[in-house]
Amino acid sequence: MPTRFSITSVTIQQATSLIGAVWVDVTSQVANVNGLIDANVTNPPSPSFFRTVTP
């Protein structure tokens, strides 16, 4: 039987460096039934690194 998972709320965070990173919340979203999220970040600084965190 396939593993089922619940719909998960995630927070997308952004940092401009991975060394001594300061992560800033960009948006909070709920993943769809496939576990996908769609975020539109306008004018991100260069470089930008993103991660997702769950509560």
Give the pair of three-digit tokens for residue 16: 């401009």
For the stretch 14-49, pLDDT in tens is: 999 999 999 999 988 888 878 788 888 888 889 999
Burial of 11 (0-12, 13-18, 19+ CB in 10 A): middle
Does pLDDT of 1 surpass 70?
Answer: no
Residue 39 to residue 34: CA distance in whole angstroms: 15
Residue type, 31: A
pTM of the model: 0.74
